[in-house]
Amino acid sequence: MKSDFNEFLVDAELGIKTIGRIDKHSDKSYYPYEPTTYAVLKRLADSEYLNERDCVLDYGCGKGRVPIYLHDVIGCKTIGVEVEKDFYEDALGNLNSYKEKLEEDTDDILIVRSKAQEFEVPEEVTACFFFNPFSADILRNVMTRILGSVRRSPRKITLFFFYPSDAYVAFLAKVDEVMFVDEIDCMDIFPEEDDQRNRLMIYEI
């Protein structure tokens, strides 16, 4: 996926290295590493669905682009969950580099190595971000974890799905606790493509 947004420039401004697509997951239920383009993340940040009081959980955070960028732009707390060891270590390296660039040892960004379906969702989480990180079967188990967290600590959680698969959309439509609330069109960010999946679908629990 491409856009005219200068990916290299934003990476450099944040002091991180996240560009590129890599397929190295040993478990084929987890999909290749491909970071969400910054133009899409900016559109999300500008949407006013998130603010500095939120805590965003990014499933399949890869090298840490989403947690670092959203914290930098919005000022919210972020958590990145990644199962692949190399990507997890890259994310930690990027976080340290970002902190050096920021000249601040912030505790508001957390990178965790875990299988998504085994990660216990902290009670502070108010939003979750997905860019097709894994199969719909894993999403089903992840949603069980999210709903369990809401039952333990009742609150609204906003779910953001960029480039959602048909399987994701079909599954979410069957979850009674999940309600579709909005869609942010991102097709103009990718003018060379004619793909209606270039969108952010927004749900609430």
pLDDT in tens, 78-94: 999 999 999 999 999 99
Q: Which two tokens stand for residue 117?
A: 């379906």
Residue 18, pLDDT above cutoff 80? yes
pLDDT of residue 106: 87
Using alpha carbons, list the distances in angstroms from residue 124 to 55, 127, 168, 173: 6, 9, 25, 25
Assign 1 a pLDDT band (cuts: 50, 70, 90). very low
The CA–CA distances, whole Å, from 30 to 87, 110, 195 equal 13, 21, 22
Q: What is the mean pLDDT of residues 56-83?
A: 98
pLDDT, position 23: 63
DSSP H stretches of helix in the chain: 7-14, 38-46, 65-74, 85-102, 136-152, 166-173
Distance CA 38, CA 167 (A): 25
Q: Does the residue 1 lie in any domain?
A: no
Place of tokens 């560009």: 19
In a domain, 115, yes or no: yes
pLDDT of residue 24: 59
In-domain check, residue 2 = no
Residue 143 included in any domain: yes
Mean pLDDT computed over 180-188: 95
In a domain, 72, yes or no: yes
Range of the domain at 124: 7-204
Residue-wise pLDDT tens digits, 119-133: 999 999 999 999 988
Q: How far apart are CA 97 and CA 81, in angstroms?
A: 18
CATH number at residue 57: 3.40.50.150
User: Domain tally for the chain?
Assistant: 1
- Where is average pLDDT lowest: 35-44, 52-61, 98-107? 98-107
Q: Three-state SS for 181?
A: strand
Q: Record the pTM.
A: 0.92
